[in-house]
Structure 1
Amino acid sequence: MRDLQVVIDEPIERGGTNLGPSPTEAAMASLIACTNVVGHKNARRLGIDLGEVTIDAAAKFDRRGVLMEEEIDLPFPAIALTVNCTTSASQQDLDRVGAETAKYCAIAKLFAAAGTDLTVNWVKTD
C-alpha cells in the first residue's frame, strides 16, 4: 500500500502476535474510515461544516466462519454506523452529506454488495 507498512494480525489467543487488528477488525475500521474521509470530502464540496465527528459502529458478526466451524456466505449480516456531528449545520444538511457519502464510499458499497444490511445514520449532536 503505497510506501506504508500495515500490520494485520490476530490476538495471541488465536495464534497471532497481537501487533495489529484482525482482518475482520480491519474491515470494520476501513468502513468507518471510508465513511469519515468521504463524508468530509462531500461536506467540503457541499459547503457544510461537520464540526467534530465521531463514528459509532455496531455489527452483527457470524464468527462461525473465522472459527472454521462452517462456511459462512455473509459474515456481517448487519452493520449500523452512527455518524455524530457536533455542528451548527442542520440535520437536513447532514442528511445531504450522508446521501452523497453513500454514493461514493467504496467500502460501504462492498459491504452492501455482499448483502450486509448496512445502515448509516448522520446525527446532529449538541
Structure 2
Amino acid sequence: MTEFDIAPSIENTKTATLIHPTVTARQVDGLLVSVGTRSHRWIIDEPTHKGGTDLGPTPLESLLGALVGCETVVLKLVADAIGFDYSGIEIDCEGTADMRGARGVKGVRPYFSTVKMTIRLTTGEEPKRVELLRRNVEQRCPVMNLFESADVEMDIDWLTVPKSPA
C-alpha cells in the first residue's frame, strides 16, 4: 500500500462477495419508460423535441445521475473509514456524447466520450487528507470505474470549500 491507500474496510477475503442488483423496465407510452427495483420506481424519458414527453431524465442523464450518486455514497463510506470530517458535498457533472453513434454511424461510439465533474467538498481537512479521500473514492467507485473502462475521458476537479466555524 502507498501512503494514499487505505485497507479494504468491508471484507478482505479471498472469495468474491457477489451482488446481483436487478431492475425491470416497461414502455409506458412512446419513449416514456417505467423502471423499478425493489420498492422503488422511476421514469426515463426524452425531451419533447426528440419525441418524448419530458417527464423524466434521458437515459444518458440517468447514467450521469448514477455516477454522481455513486461518487457521493462512496465518498461517505471512505470518509467514515478514515475519519475524514466534512459537512457537505455538491457535484456538478456534464457528459459529452456524439449522437451520430446512437444513430448508427460506424466508428462513432454511442456513449459519452468525456465527462467533466466538479466536486465541491465542505471541509477543514488538510490537502493531504483530501488527496487520500479523492484517491480512494476514485479507486472504489464502481460507476466511475465502469466509465473509465469504457475509455470515457474523465475530467474531475476536487474543490474544497472552507468549513464555517461553529
Q: Same fold (TM over 0.5)?
A: yes
2:123 pairs with 82, 87, 92, which one? 87
State whether residues 90 and 124 of structure 1, in contact with CA within 8 Å, keep that contact through their aligned partners in structure 2: no
Q: Provide the residue aligned with 2:105 in structure 1.
A: 70
Query: Which one has the largest radius of gyration?
Result: 2
Opposite residue 53 of structure 1, the aligned amino acid is I
2:57 is paired with a residue of what secondary structure? coil
Structure 2: distance between partners of 1:100 and 1:118 = 16
- Alpha carbons of structure 1 residues 74 and 11: separation in structure 2 relative to 1, 3 Å: closer
Residue pairs, 1:1-126, within 5 angstroms: 1-66=37-102, 68=103, 70-71=105-106, 72-73=108-109, 75-126=111-162
- How far is 1:74 from its partner? 5.8
Structure 2: distance between partners of 1:8 and 1:59 = 17
State whether residues 94 and 123 of structure 1, in contact with CA within 8 Å, keep that contact through their aligned partners in structure 2: no
Structure 1: distance between partners of 2:72 and 2:100 = 30
For 1:35-94, what per-residue CA distance to the aligned partner results, in whole angstroms no more than 9, with x for missing partners? 11111111111100122211122322222233x162432621111212111211122212
2:155 is paired with a residue of what secondary structure? strand
For 1:88-108, what per-residue CA distance to the aligned partner results, in whole angstroms no more than 9, with x for missing partners? 112221211111111211110
**TM-score (normalised: structure 1):** 0.89
Gaps of 5+ in 2: 1-36
Structure 2: distance between partners of 1:2 and 1:104 = 24
CA RMSD in angstroms comes to 1.6
State whether residues 112 and 118 of structure 1, in contact with CA within 8 Å, keep that contact through their aligned partners in structure 2: yes
For these two proteins, the number of residue pairs brought into alignment is 125
1:6 is paired with a residue of what secondary structure? strand
**TM-score (normalised: structure 2):** 0.69
Gaps of 5+ in 1: none
State whether residues 84 and 125 of structure 2, in contact with CA within 8 Å, keep that contact through their aligned partners in structure 1: yes
Structure 2: distance between partners of 1:28 and 1:47 = 28
